[in-house]
Structures are given as C-alpha cells and as structure tokens.
Amino acid sequence: MSAENSGQVFRLHSTLELPLETVRDFLNSDPEMPDGIESVDLTRRNNTLILKAIASDNSLSKYTPTAQLKASVTENRVYEEDPDERRGPRWGEEEEEEEIPSELVEFAAFKGDRETVLQNSLLQYEMFKVLCDIAREAEKGTLTAITALDDELEATRIVDGEDRPATIEVVEGRNESKAASNGVNWRDNKFIS
C-alpha cells in the first residue's frame, strides 16, 4: 500500500497508560507492521516517548516526516497489593502500619487528541493501527477514533485492552446550532432583497 492511498484518521482520543517496559516488549517482539511501515523507531527525550514510523518505501525523501506516536513518561508507585483493600485491625489487636511492597515503574501515557498523540500525515493511518495494537496491551485507558479506509468510515473503541463495539453518530455540530439560534438568518432577512 503506498502512502498516497492509505487511510485517514479524522478523530482520535486516547487515555492509554501502560508500563514503558510493556511498550518496549511489544516493539521488541517483532510485531506484524501495517503495509508501508518497515519498523518503528523508539526514542526517549527526557519525559517524552516518540515512536516514529520507518517507511518501507525507500523512494520517500529522508526529510519527509513520517507519522509518530507521542507519549509522556511518568513514574508511578505500583503496589503488590492494593493498599485500599488491606484488612483493618482485628478486635483486640493494635493497629500497626504494615509496609506494602512496592516499586517505582515508568509508564507511557498516550493521552490526548489526534494532534497530541498521533503526529504527521505520512503513514498516519498505519501508525494509528500500531497504536491500536499498543492499546490492546494496555490494562488501563481508552482509545476511541473515527477513521476511513477506501472511503469507508470506521469507528474504533478499545477499553482496558479489549476491543469494544463502536458506532459513528452524525449530529449537528455545536457551532452550527449556536449560529442558527444566535446569528442572523440570512435566507429570511427582510433587509436583503
């Protein structure tokens, strides 16, 4: 599939959060890449993680920016057992604060809308497919999107690592309804002949 006839990503919203090690393991497992992508280059700059598409088409200029996924890296304390589910003291026992084993884990947070999470247009739809695969690895978060491939609209919804049913609903835009109610009705305006 060439970059010219690849699909499009119209709307995307992500709240995905998964351990950075899970993202690395996924990419190192040699996953099947969508047509047009040879591999994905992972780069970390301070607290930003960038997954850049490496195009399989060698005729593309090396200066043409390919699509990339962007995530922020945060450090979270992960407990072996949920501290909220600890049992309270039994009758007659003194309450003793018991330390719960934990470790600091770096998480990749793919959070935001299309421009924040998925950047650049060349191979954008294909990198969206890679993001869907990453979403299926995440235990926490939601990915929703409206895409088109071969002029067919498709809704995507992945919640906590599982594909869920999704539909596309066409509604009157917020700006259109406000303009109609507050603006001038140019068609039935008696001052215009």
Exposure of 115 in the CB half-sphere (CA atoms within 13 A)? 0
What pLDDT is recorded for position 182?
54
pLDDT band at 77 (very low <50, low <70, confident <90, very high): confident
Rounded Cα distance between 50 and 42, Å, is 6
Residues whose CB is less than 8 angstroms from the CB of residue 74 and which lie 6 or more positions away in sequence, other chains included: 47, 106, 107, 109
**What's the average model confidence in pLDDT over 49-59?**
93
149-160 pLDDT, tens per residue?
998 999 999 999
pLDDT band at 101 (very low <50, low <70, confident <90, very high): confident
20-33 pLDDT, tens per residue?
999 999 999 999 99
Name the residue among 108, 127, 107 with its Cα closest to residue 118: 127
Contact 146, 10 (CB under 8 A): yes
Rounded Cα distance between 108 and 106, Å, is 7
